[in-house]
């Protein structure tokens, strides 16, 4: 089923020794977020040794759009941090995305040389994927993303004795769609459960990406996935 996920890939410029799976926000595509990042940075998010993979979520009915089809990783009852998670769609997508992780492992990349992350809904999906099913990955990032107050992610982290992947989060404090407080609260809760976290606040930023945010993310990625060939 994973083969049905369209993907845009930025190939590494030297030997592939690490992987980054970057998940887009709701209604977008892998090609779309790659183009957005390229527009903001004035270049692709490219590394000598890291393969960057931008999958596209399949079309599905999306409740916040009155059931209209959209490229979303999972369904939501509403865009709020104070409602139940749509676990059926989340679990199904975690299973599909796990196949992408497994493909990288089969290509010779160790789990601790893989980072999972995304923007908005993609960041939420990455936290579910990593903290519930792939706790050995090198790190997780969520840009303008959040977890619901009663998220099963918190339960998974609490019940696991092993150390968890580090979390990099960033959020604009003018975000009107995914409130800044939701992202901050998610980060604080994970930190209280023992997850090492970094939270970056971007003043006057809406529900969008900015250059300094992506540059900070790039530095963090290189810190977590250094080029061992150098």
- Catalytic center residues: 120, 175, 207
Cα separation, 197 vs 225, whole angstroms: 17
Cα separation, 131 vs 123, whole angstroms: 12
Cα separation, 229 vs 212, whole angstroms: 27
Asked whether 195 and 147 are in contact (CB, 8 A), the reply is: no
- Beta 7-10 vs 18-23: how paired, if at all? unpaired
Asked whether 118 and 169 are in contact (CB, 8 A), the reply is: no
User: Which of 201, 2, 60, 33 lies closest to 120 in space, CA to CA?
Assistant: 33
User: Which of 131, 148, 132, 149 lies closest to 140 in space, CA to CA?
Assistant: 131
């Amino acid at each position: 089923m994973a083969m049905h996920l369209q993907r845009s890939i930025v190939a590494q410029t030297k030997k592939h020794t690490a992987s980054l799976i970057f998940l887009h926000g709701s209604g977008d595509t892998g090609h779309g977020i790659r183009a957005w990042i390229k527009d903001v940075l004035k270049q692709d998010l490219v590394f000598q040794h890291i393969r960057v993979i931008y999958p596209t979520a399949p079309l599905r009915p999306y409740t916040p759009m009155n059931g209209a089809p959209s490229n979303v990783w999972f369904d939501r009852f509403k865009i709020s941090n104070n409602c139940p998670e749509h676990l059926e769609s989340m679990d199904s997508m975690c299973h599909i995305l796990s196949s992408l992780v497994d493909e990288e492992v089969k290509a010779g990349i160790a789990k601790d040389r893989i980072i999972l992350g995304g923007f908005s809904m993609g960041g939420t999906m990455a936290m579910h994927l990593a903290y519930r099913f792939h706790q050995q990955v090198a790190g997780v990032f969520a840009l303008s993303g959040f977890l619901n107050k009663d998220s099963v992610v918190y339960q998974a982290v609490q019940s696991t004795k092993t150390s968890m992947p580090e979390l990099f989060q960033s959020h604009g404090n003018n975000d009107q769609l995914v409130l800044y407080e939701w992202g901050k609260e998610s980060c604080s809760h994970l930190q209280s459960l023992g997850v090492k976290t970094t939270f970056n606040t971007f003043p006057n930023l809406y529900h969008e990406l900015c250059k300094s945010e992506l540059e900070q993310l790039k530095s963090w990625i290189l810190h977590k996935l250094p080029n061992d060939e150098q």
